[in-house]
């Protein structure tokens, strides 16, 4: 088998990495130091907007990357696309778990303070949970197939079938469940409750977290390529 070429890892990469780390440091400083308008129930936890919400954005962007690489794997059959689909799914799952746990913690000490509610079947919460179940099944499926080439192909098919059904949840869930999230029926839209100063931190935070996910993903891809090249001889 021919060697896979790792992604180029030169000085340009170290510059990008330095920029991402500086960017994220500034975002965290801004998140804690900038004054925000006071809101009932939320109080300072409104700052969680900068941390909890980008988890969801990051997960969905990695899900998208994973779906694209699964499609490309079926089209080309090259090993590298399978590795990329697998590793982006893994990063998406990590960010999904972090989004769920941070959401539970946030709601527990604001809206559900003093109650025994941990899980309320919020549409977005449910969707993230279902996406995690799908990735659980995806990785489990991968462990049951021994042949490398077949494993990539079958897993890609499952990933794409799942990707075709998940968007339905965007339509179905909000109709049948109550939501705490802005924009859902009755709740104020995102732009109404968010002061301009918060948006100035929020959007950079989304970009920063996606960039961090990209760093983690790229690391995993490099490790995976190294492993493939070492074990295939």
- Check binding of 3 to other proteins (CB under 8 A): no
The answer to whether 27 and 208 are in contact (CB under 8 A) is yes
- Check binding of 68 to other proteins (CB under 8 A): no
Q: For the CB of residue 187, give the shortest distance to other proteins in the complex, in Å.
A: 20
* Beta carbons within 8 Å of 154's beta carbon, 6+ residues apart: 141, 145
By CB under 8 A, which span of 11-19, 95-103, 180-188, 190-198 interacts with other proteins?
95-103
The answer to whether 79 and 112 are in contact (CB under 8 A) is no
- Find, among 94, 97, 146, the residue nearest to 125 by Cα: 97
- Check binding of 64 to other proteins (CB under 8 A): no
- Check binding of 150 to other proteins (CB under 8 A): yes
By CB under 8 A, which span of 8-16, 60-68, 194-202, 219-227 interacts with other proteins?
219-227
Closest to other proteins by CB, 65 or 134: 134
What's the angle, vertex CA 109, arms to CA 107 and CA 113, rounded to 5? 95
- Check binding of 79 to other proteins (CB under 8 A): no
Q: Which of residues 121-140 bind other proteins (CB under 8 A)?
A: 130, 133-134, 136-137, 140
Query: Which stretches of the chain bind other proteins, using CB under 8 A?
Result: 28, 32, 42-45, 47-48, 51-52, 55, 74, 91, 94-95, 97-98, 101-102, 105-106, 109-110, 113-114, 130, 133-134, 136-137, 140-141, 144-146, 150, 153-154, 156-158, 160-162, 164-165, 168-169, 171-173, 175-176, 212, 216, 219-220, 223, 226-227, 230-231
């Amino acid at each position: 088998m021919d060697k896979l070429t790792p992604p180029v890892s030169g000085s340009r990469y170290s510059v990008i990495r330095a920029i991402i780390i500086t960017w994220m440091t500034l975002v965290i400083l801004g998140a804690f130091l900038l004054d925000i308008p006071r809101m009932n129930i939320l109080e300072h936890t409104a700052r969680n907007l900068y941390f909890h919400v980008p988890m969801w954005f990051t997960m969905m962007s990695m899900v998208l990357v994973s779906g694209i690489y699964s499609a490309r794997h079926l089209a080309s059959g090259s090993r590298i696309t399978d590795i990329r689909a697998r590793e982006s799914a893994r990063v998406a799952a990590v960010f999904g778990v972090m989004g769920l746990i941070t959401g539970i913690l946030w709601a527990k000490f604001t809206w559900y303070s003093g109650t025994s509610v941990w899980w309320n079947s919020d549409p977005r919460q449910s969707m993230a949970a279902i996406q995690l179940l799908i990735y659980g099944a995806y990785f489990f499926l991968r462990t049951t197939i021994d042949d490398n080439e077949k494993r990539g192909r079958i897993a890609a098919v499952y990933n794409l079938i799942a990707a075709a059904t998940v968007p339905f949840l965007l339509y179905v869930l909000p109709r049948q469940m109550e939501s705490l999230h802005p924009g859902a029926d009755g709740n104020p839209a995102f732009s109404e409750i968010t002061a301009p100063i918060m948006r100035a931190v929020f959007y950079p935070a989304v970009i920063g977290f996606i960039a961090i996910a990209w760093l983690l993903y790229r690391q995993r891809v490099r490790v995976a390529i190294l492993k493939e090249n070492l074990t295939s001889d």
